[in-house]
Amino acid sequence: MGALGFKLSFFLHIVFGNLCLIGSLIQWWNSRKRVVPLLHKSIGKVITYVLIGFAAPSGFILAWYSEAPWPFSLLAIAWIWYTFKGYQSIKRKYL
């Protein structure tokens, strides 16, 4: 992929990873969850789609540019897997 692939992956990972982190912090704010449940649901959907679509795949690509590609690539795969399993649990109403 070269330098362009690294730069694009780095940019996507930083932007969308931070979006996921900020959104996740907002999700843990209990009083807002009770007052505006639709906002909680909407933010959760955005985090899920952004993480599975951009943040984790770009992290997986970046892993292969690091000095320890296997641990970082496994972390990206685990990030996608557990997010997907959480999404499935919510859809099946296993809360």
The pTM (predicted TM-score) of the whole model is: 0.84
Could you give the C-alpha distances from 40 to 32, 36, 56, in angstroms and in order? 8, 7, 22
Phi/psi for 65 (5° steps) reads -95, -5
Average pLDDT, the chain: 90
pLDDT, residue 75, reads 95
Q: Is the dihedral of CA 12, 14, 18, 21 positive or negative?
A: positive
Mean pLDDT of 57-78: 94
CA separation for the pair 17, 25 (Å, rounded): 12
pLDDT, residue 1, reads 64
